[in-house]
Amino acid sequence: MNILRGIAVSGNVGIGKAFLLTSKPLELRRVRIPEDNIETEQKRLEAMLNLTRKELKTLQARIHKSLGSEFADFLEVQIQILSDPALLKICKRHISDAYSAEYAYSKAVAEIARPLLDARHSLFKERLADIEDVTNRVLRNLLSLPSVSLIDAPAGSVVLAHSIPPSEIVLLDPKRVCGVATEIGGRTSHIAIIAKALEIPAVLGVERLLEKLKGDERVIVDGQRGQVLLAPTERRISRYEDEIKKYAARRESFFDEAKQAVITLDERKIDISANIELTSEIYSLKRYGAQGVGLFRTEYIFLTKRRFPTEEEQYRIYSEAAIQLKPHPLIIRTLDLGGDKVFPGYEESNPFLGWRAVRFLFDNEDIFLDQMRAIMRASAHGNVKIMFPMISDVSEIKRVRLLLKRAQDQLTQRRQKFDPQMEVGIMIEIPSAALMADRFAEHVDFFSIGTNDLTQYTLAVDRGNEKISRLFNHYHPAVLQLIRRVIGVAHKAHIWVGVCGEMAAEALGVALLLGLGVDELSMTPCAVPVARRIIRHVRVDTLRKITGRALEYSTPVEVIRYLRRELSRKYPELAVLFLERKSACST
Amino acid sequence: MTSSEVIIKNKIGLHARPAAQFVKIAEVFESKIWIIKDGVKVNGKSILSLLTLAAEQGSSLVLQADGPDENEAIQALAKVLEEEGE
């Protein structure tokens, strides 16, 4: 047995048989052919290009049907490469010089694509993946190598690869693939996003994965702990199988839970929403029992496309989501990226305190207005609300309002429909905004408290920094006081308050936030069932008393200890949930 | 031979989708098509060559066409390059 570590990206645990997807570039030797064969060699190349074109067209039609045009379009470039006249000219010349078609083709591609290697803009470099993808396809056909494709993955496969090429990612089928592990790729890679949306367990960035692999062994992908187990022992397998069974049973009971109304024993109605980044997640959030979307992150649309999506592209995505969720709300957060993610080469010593989110968008008004118009147009199709992150100063919300007005005027001029009453809210995640919440309240329709950033900025702790991450704790009384203050001020101003940080995905956090008077909770879809169960078994007035006392403590450890004890005593049937301070997804 | 100077208006430059669209339209014409950027001249019907130009928004290009339908070609293709994207 071999245990490898990587980045835990999605899902629970998958056990299956290794399905190796080789996507490393083929290494070709320089092969000479007899002069007499030159003509047949040219014809062979043509035939294989035609075959490859047919393959890609079939693939394109298939993807178009299963995932939509958004995913099928990129293949157009690959198909055009097959009939690229400049490429074919060079290639034919090499064959005329008595080189084999394989060698001629790969040499020609390398020659013509060379300038892309030092393209200044990473967008263009990204195209190298497409070029490599299609070139490998042609070469495999020329060499009559069986091309391994995810189409052929049998049921119960764990897909292992160096990286998964673009034309293959779209073929991932959760019915047949029970796990994915790759050597490269991170949390925001294309494969990570698709695996998450399809709820396939995935671990990425596993170094030397293929080297350690024998080929046909069983593999366990643990998407919770970020581990890949090659040829696991029977004992391991049965332990993991138990875990999967428990998980499945729990999910079943969760889906039952999803049918119940979300109302507390003292009849407070709480809105339960989900945080998502892809429209394809809407299906799973409904099954988990979330009503709407409390946080639709738009960064991923940018990160997968590696460029700013156009107004039309965004409008299509947002309106599709709005229609699917109707009449429940879809709260879209405007782009929350830092300049460092947008402009390759641009660096800051303090990105979290830097040029990001609205600060970046104010300096790029075209991008901001594109997004505003796209969101507004989607509001004609459902219950859409817009939300702005990283607001620290009242002048910023005033400026946002002016821009929104301008976007409205543009749409009116274009005679495009939108909901003029669309709610406008801000994230409360910077201490200055929390402290001044009363001044912000008059300009917005709602607040959404982002507990992750609020904690990070209040405690001055970068939780990505392992040396100090233990200091990151959203149960810190300072953070809780800010939350209490924001909710109090908002209710006085008659606006509603939601929480969309990880705190809302923890059992203890849910109880605490209910006690503080929150109106809406938004969390990762898999945490919804636990939140629903808690809501249905508690009284808000009881929780108010408990949280009131909790806030008198001085350290997060004391707060947690007190809450656990009191809540477990008061609600013994929920004690199991309260005693485990983890995301409700894994309990 | 006809030529025309154009500035790329598309936000993402002559990137995947716009480049693919350019080639699709260029292929319709019988004339030979070239694009010149910073002294580099490439075949306008070659997707790979277009991509290697790495022409970003604001780049200035010269479009050239030579053949029986050169005027129509220049007109149609200049329009593609000057489109702001959808």
A479-531 pLDDT tens trace: 999 999 999 999 999 999 999 988 998 999 999 999 999 999 999 888 898 89
Top-confidence residue, A444 or A57 = A444
Q: Give CA–CA dist A10/A280, Å, rounded.
A: 15
pLDDT at B86: 43
pLDDT at A491: 97
Same domain, A480 and A534: yes
In A433-467, which positions are buried (b, 16+ CB within 10 angstroms) versus exposed (e)? bbebbeebbebbbbbbbbbebbbbbbbebebeeee
Count: domains in chain A? 3
pLDDT at A186: 74
Among A248, A273, A298, identify where a domain stops.
A248
Residue A147 resides in a domain = no
Which residues 22-81 of A have a C-beta within 8 angstroms of B?
73-74, 76-77, 80-81
pLDDT at A69: 63
pTM of the model: 0.67
Mean pLDDT of the A261-270 span: 90
Q: Give CA–CA dist A72/A60, Å, rounded.
A: 5
Q: Kindly identify which residue of chain B lies nearest to residue A83, measuring between CA atoms.
A: B46
pLDDT at A295: 97
pLDDT at A30: 87
What is the CATH classification number for the domain harbouring A327?
Answer: 3.20.20.60
Residue A234 class from Cβ within 10 Å (0-12 exposed, 13-18 middle, 19+ buried)? exposed
Place of tokens 């989110």: A357
Q: How far is A83 from chain B (nearest CA, A)?
A: 8
Residue A440 resides in a domain = yes
Same domain, A346 and A477: yes
Count: domains in chain B? 1
For residue A444 the two structure tokens come to: 């917005």
Percent of chain A beyond pLDDT 70?
93
For residue A445 the two structure tokens come to: 């329709």
For residue B41, the surrounding DSSP H or E stretch is: strand B40-43
Is A111 within 8 Å of chain B by CB? no
For residue B52 the two structure tokens come to: 């290697």
pLDDT at B85: 54
Residue A6 resides in a domain = no
Contact B48 A76 (CB under 8 A): no
Distances (CA, A) of A580 to A328, A508, A563, A565, A585: 31, 8, 12, 12, 11
What is the CATH classification number for the domain harbouring A93?
Answer: 1.10.274.10
Same domain, A68 and A190: no
Among A248, A270, A289, identify where a domain stops.
A248
Residue A584 resides in a domain = no
Percent of chain B beyond pLDDT 70?
97
Suggest the residue from A53, A69, A77, A128 to mutate for an interface test with chain B (most B CBs closer than 10 A).
A77
Contact between B62 and B35 under an 8 Å Cβ cutoff? The reply is yes
Nearest Cβ partner of A121 from B11, B16, B54?
B54
Same domain, A498 and A569: yes
pLDDT > 70? residue A120: no
pLDDT > 70? residue A112: yes
pLDDT at A455: 95
pLDDT > 60? residue A554: yes
Suggest the residue from B32, B46, B57 to mutate for an interface test with chain A (most A CBs closer than 10 A).
B46
Pairing of strands B60-66, B32-37: antiparallel
Contact between B42 and B53 under an 8 Å Cβ cutoff? The reply is yes
Q: Give CA–CA dist A485/A476, Å, rounded.
A: 14
Residue A274 resides in a domain = yes
Q: Kindly identify which residue of chain B lies nearest to residue A120, measuring between CA atoms.
A: B54
Q: Give CA–CA dist A101/A48, Å, rounded.
A: 10
Q: Which residues of B touch A317 (CB under 8 A)?
A: none
Nearest Cβ partner of A116 from B17, B45, B51?
B51
Q: How many residues does chain B have?
A: 86
Same domain, A325 and A441: yes
Residue A535 class from Cβ within 10 Å (0-12 exposed, 13-18 middle, 19+ buried)? buried
Same domain, A402 and A361: yes
Among A228, A248, A268, identify where a domain stops.
A248
Contact A77 B24 (CB under 8 A): no
pLDDT at A138: 92
For residue B31, the surrounding DSSP H or E stretch is: none
Residue A511 class from Cβ within 10 Å (0-12 exposed, 13-18 middle, 19+ buried)? buried
Q: How far is B84 from chain A (nearest CA, A)?
A: 10
Mean pLDDT of the A297-326 span: 86
Average pLDDT, chain A: 89
Contact A81 B48 (CB under 8 A): yes
Q: Phi and psi at residue A30, in whole multiples of 5°?
A: -75, 115
Q: Which residues of B touch A127 (CB under 8 A)?
A: 15-16, 51
Is A414 within 8 Å of chain B by CB? no
pLDDT > 60? residue A581: no
Place of tokens 């917005």: A444
pLDDT at B17: 78
pLDDT tens-digit readout, A155-213: 999 999 988 887 788 788 888 999 999 998 777 677 887 787 778 999 999 999 988 88
Which residues 474-533 of A have a C-beta within 8 angstroms of B?
none
pLDDT > 60? residue A87: yes
- Give, as one character, the DSSP assignment of residue A462: -
Mean pLDDT of the A58-64 span: 80
Q: How confident is the model at residue A587 (pLDDT cuts 50, 70, 90)?
A: very low
Size of interface A-B (CB pairs under 8 A): 75
Top-confidence residue, A122 or A397 = A397
Can you list the positions of beta strands (E) in A434-546?
446-449, 496-499, 520-523
Average pLDDT, chain B: 88
Same domain, A443 and A370: yes
Which of A4-13, A373-382, A477-486 has the least mean pLDDT?
Answer: A4-13
What is the CATH classification number for the domain harbouring B22?
Answer: 3.30.1340.10
**Domain ranges, residue B11:** 2-82
Contact A115 B11 (CB under 8 A): no
Same domain, A418 and A481: yes
Same domain, A280 and A354: yes
**Domain ranges, residue A56:** 23-142
Q: How confident is the model at residue A53 (pLDDT cuts 50, 70, 90)?
A: very high
Q: Give CA–CA dist A323/A147, Å, rounded.
A: 40
What is the CATH classification number for the domain harbouring A156?
Answer: 3.50.30.10
Same domain, A227 and A321: no
